[in-house]
Amino acid sequence: MKQLAPNLFNLRFDDLMEMGRARLPELAPEWTDHNAHDPGITLMELLAWVTEAQLYSLGHMRRDERAAYAAIFGLTAIGTQPARGLIWPDWADPSAPVAGFSHTRVIDAGAVVNLLDSGEPRFYADGKFLWIPGRVRRLEARGRDGRKLDLTVANRRGGPAFQPFGTAAADGDVLLLEFECNSDDGILPADRKDVSGALWPLGVRADVPLTGASSNPAAPFDAALGTQCGSSLLATLVMASERFPLRIASDATCGLLRTGALLLDLSPLTQVPKIFSLELRPAPGFERPPRILRIEPNVLPVVQGRRIVDELHVITGVPDGSFQLDVPGLSFGPGAAPVKIELRDPNSGHRDEWRPGSLVASGPGDTVYELDTAAERVTFGNGVNGRIPPAGAQVVATYTVCDGERGIVAPNRKWQLQGFLGAFGVNLDAMVGGAAATGWIDERREARRRARFDHALVSEEDIVEAALALPLLEVARAWIPAQDDRAPGTGSVTLVAMRARRSEEDAGGVPESRGWLDAIRRRLATRMPLGTRLVVIGPRYVQFAIEATVEPVAGRHPDTVRDDIVQALRTRFMLIGDKPRQPGVPVTRRDVTAFIRRVAGVRRVTALRLTAESGAATEEIKVARSGLPRFDLAGSRIEVVRAAAKVAP
């Protein structure tokens, strides 16, 4: 019989050594000692041994061996991944249920959601939710210093992004959402039994991060890990003089930092009036200040796919019997059981669940089945390795399927929900995350990536690259300052991290808060070598101003020359961008004069004064190794004055 698989193990140790010795006269003619005691021959033997081992592994790698190697990197097989998204109330539609309905409804988990006037792709509600028709009357940010900022109009507009907690969120800041129900009976439905286990979703649309990894994972292994993360929020429901702390059952927003839904547990409440307020506050503080486009209740989290329940298969009773799942697109996450297999008695309806496992390691009486996830095929034992189901037995299979990449849907499409007439809402963002099932090639690619990037942070470059790649934290720059020779080595590494900002005016005073720096340290500390302590600090900003008087060349308007000078100084002293200012480099009066003289249209600099933050004039602004100079444009004065006309004698 012809062998279909190629024989990759076609060279042995002796063959490789013979090939190597044959090349020596050509590659190294001065090398004449080819005996075994020569160090070069020893090195060649080592390379030949490694090559032989690699060729053997290529020709004999079994599927279980590949799975074992992948498990070393924390990788397990995952099925087809579904697309996910949020359906928002459509206030542009006057007939939308959120505006026309009056009483609270309970949306059951698995409720079917389809595109309006289309049955495909099919989504379903990702949980059991309370749907409370009503409107946000007011959205207000309250600072710990007593300031109040009305964000109602900006929230309804849906952009541009606003910062409800300012540029430096801290303890005591509160975001207050005042909600008015359509029903006078409040938020709870008439039948209180249906409320058990239902959560109230609060949708959040966050602005995209300025730098760093995306907030929406696209890789299948990242998407399969789910969208949940730790929450740094505290929720409180306020009614007149009463306050009720609410449990946040799930936070897919990572503390309002990315688009997702907060799921609030309202089960402890017995009665809530028509108008109430919801307070959100950081505890103990945000990793970085959120930037929000929109926040609104009654947003429905949905997942693409459908659940196949009790799919019937009749067993013939032969050894190694198997059957194919009827619906393709098997969907499951890492560590989850892809299929539930039960043996059902046709007379009594009694069911016995069989467990997944390896038939090779099973005994004659073990009720075990083996699933080939790639072929989506279930196989039973042969009586020696695993029990044989009796002939004519009814086997029912329950599993979940999805369409993978075909389930991705563009934004701003209208959707209908089971139990509601007409359009239920609209997806403001695309339904994303759908991906095909992973195979061993995908696992190998991901293992190589993790081996290359997810290793211990040994060198300075490793630490800096890891800091810049942190998701959601917006690390714009990072560096490790040179160690002071006079300081004793204490086994600690100091990382200077700088937060991204659109401009210095938007950054405020010092954008690198203590909470932001601690978040970077927590995420990197687990990858530091044992015995090495990581210290994360922000840049030491040294503010300075410039007072200059400049004479333009003939024919150039002074205002134009002044604008060019200001732009040139901005570029020279920018802290982020393509060519940012290097840390630790001082600013001298001589350098600033040269910068201005290089501007087109400048004839000469008649006067220049460099002013420190204290207001004193100086020849040089000294900057520490971990510091950066910050140009104070508002406190600077640039005057462009034409030369006085000469009077003829």
Q: Average pLDDT of the chain? A: 87
| CB of 106 closer than 8 Å to CB of 194 | yes
**What's the gap between Cα 145 and its chain centre?**
33
As a whole number, mean pLDDT of residues 574-584 equals: 88
Q: Per-residue pLDDT tens for 28-84?
A: 888 888 888 888 899 999 999 998 888 887 767 677 777 777 888 888 888 999 999
Q: What is the 3-state secondary structure (H, E, C) of 590-646?
A: HHHHHHHHCCCCEEEEEEEEEEECCCCEECEECCCCCEEEEECCCCCEEEECCCCCC
Distance of CA 27 to the CA centre of its chain: 51
On the question of pLDDT at 321 being above 70, the answer is: yes
Is the torsion defined by CA of 223, 228, 232, 235 positive or negative?
Answer: positive
The CA–CA distances, whole Å, from 214 to 221, 228, 465 equal 15, 15, 16
One of 2.170.240, 3.30.300, 3.30.160, 3.40.50 is the CATH number of 455-537, namely 3.30.300
pLDDT tens by residue, 409-450? 999 999 999 989 889 999 999 999 999 988 888 888 888 888
pTM: 0.80
pLDDT of residue 230: 65
Using CA atoms, how far residue 482 sits from 75, 499, 517, in Å, is: 38, 21, 20
Which secondary structure element, helix H or strand E, spans residue 525, and what is its range? helix 514-525
Q: What is the pLDDT of residues 389-415, one digit of tens each?
A: 998 889 999 999 999 999 999 999 999
pLDDT confidence bin for 5, thresholds 50/70/90:
low
In angstroms, the Cα distances linking 576 to 41, 268, 476, 512, 580 are: 53, 49, 7, 14, 5
What pairs with residue 282 in β-bridges?
A: 233
Q: What's the rounded Cα separation, in Å, for the pair 270 and 268?
A: 7
Q: Which of 230-239, 270-279, 625-634 has the highest mean pLDDT?
A: 625-634
Query: Given its phi and psi angles, is residue 645 left (phi above 0), alpha (psi -120 to 50 degrees) or beta?
Result: beta
